[in-house]
Amino acid sequence: MSQTKYETKNISDENQSRLHAGLLVALMCAYMLSANVAVLYVLVYDFLMRIYMAPHMSPIYLISTFLVKIIGAKEKLTDENAKEFASHVGLTLLFASLGAELLNQTTVAFLLVGFLSVWKIAEATKEICFACKFYELLKSRNIELESL
């Protein structure tokens, strides 16, 4: 018996992703203004829950989903695989910034969070996801990411 593998394309709402990015930027700005490490822990928790557990365990995801429903924005679907790759890149930057903060390298942590903030600002305001573009570049070169 032959098995046929059907590829299902995961899709997500671009409006929800943009609102989520805006809320993340607000938290990252709160960290950079207050230098409170607890904000980094909240950001790491949010990314971990959204990527590895379930999105409904992520408080920022829940808030952004609720706000999209209140606004009543028309659903705009995009490829979730690229967004998942971007989330892994963001989580890596947040882990690096948390490590830098724990090693008393606050300047390095601020630079990493600031870099991620610029990416998220571009995503929230201009629908430009740099990590998604990099993912698409890898796909166009036939480079498959097996696991993240």
Partnered with residue 79 across adjacent β-strands are 11
Q: Where are the domains of the chain?
A: 11-140
| Radius of gyration for the alpha carbons in the chain, expressed in angstroms and rounded | 16
Task: Give 14-27 pLDDT, tens digit per residue.
Answer: 888 999 999 999 99
Q: For the chain, how far is it from start to end, CA to CA, in angstroms?
A: 32
Residue 26 CA to residue 112 CA, distance in Å, equals 15
Q: pLDDT tens digits for 3-50?
A: 444 344 567 788 889 999 999 999 999 999 999 999 999 999 999 999
SS3 12: strand
Token pair of 133 as six digits: 């573009």
